[in-house]
Amino acid sequence: MFSLAHLSDVHLAPLPRPDLSALLSKRAIGFLSWHLRRKKIHSATIARQIVADIKAEAPDHIACTGDLLHIALRQEFTRATQWLEDFGPADQISFVPGNHDAYVRVAWAEGLGRWSAYMTSDLNLVSPDAMPADRPGFPYVRQRRNVALIGVSTGVPAALHRASGTVGKVQMAALAKVLELLHARGFCRIVMIHHPPLASQCVPRRGLDDAPQLEDVLRRHGAEFVLHGHNHTHMHEELQTRTGLAHIVGVPSASAAPGGHKPPAAWYCYKIKRQSGSWHAGVTVRSYDGSHNRFRPEREFSLIAG
């Protein structure tokens, strides 16, 4: 039995006070969005509590599928780096960036590269030159027993008023190769991605620009589970692939306060095992209960993949 925690869209609050020069870009839109809307949604207290709840449940590994930030300020990267380090060591947490982590173009070493320890392969199946130059190291693969965690980056700077993402041709080709090799070796393949992978799961302004191509890769090469965030709500889709049934599961924002138009914060705990030729996962949804100011089990369900 392998246990995996999945959380997403932490949106660490509050938004730091930016320099005026930092707002001479798309950041100005995100800054206004924070003050007009998002600061009522994302709670620093709930973000701390979800970390404490996950630690108390002590899963074998943690998957975090993006959006630690709001507008990719330098101060946000510093704070998120400290948050990751306080959460746990890099060999226990696997991270993939979201669109808010790549809100504007920031040099790799000054931005996302600061979290590279949480996005590093320990099972090298593709050469570095088969990875996108602007997102070094993706897709990455981490082996945990008979489970392979595959990190895919969709976080790229998007145009004004867009929250879209892109996998890209280079990363897409590498992902296809990785999925094929891992299937041949008998792994349970868990793809971690920020944006929902299917075009039907997002309006174009917020979805993956190359979602049809990604769906084709998943159908042709298979995966057992695809974990995502971005939509800030509970989601579950099934996709029939060449290697069997894949489950595509999304979670709410990890810092969302109750009372909004989206569900309150939640994380999913997967308990995965191989049984009768298929991969079985018992899933517990732990949601924030505002009346008792704590996370509690909301529901349980089972998934069979492959």
Q: What is the CATH number of the domain that holds 285?
A: 3.60.21.10
- Report the domain count for the chain: 1
The reported pLDDT for the residue numbered 182 is 97
Range of the domain at 146: 2-305
Separation CA 81–CA 249 (nearest Å) = 26
The reported pLDDT for the residue numbered 18 is 86
Q: Which residues contact 109 (CB under 8 A, 6 or more apart)?
A: none
- DSSP code of 257? P
The reported pLDDT for the residue numbered 210 is 97
- Regions of the chain short of the pLDDT cut 50: none
pTM of the model: 0.96
The reported pLDDT for the residue numbered 54 is 98
The pLDDT tens digits for 76-112 are 999 999 999 999 999 999 999 999 999 999 999 999 9
The three-state (H, E, C) secondary structure of 106-138, written as one string: CCHHHCHHHHHHHHCCCCCCCCHHHCCCCCCCC
Given a contact cutoff of 8 angstroms between Cβ atoms, the answer to whether 211 and 226 are in contact is no
The pLDDT tens digits for 199-240 are 999 999 999 999 999 999 999 999 999 999 999 999 999 999
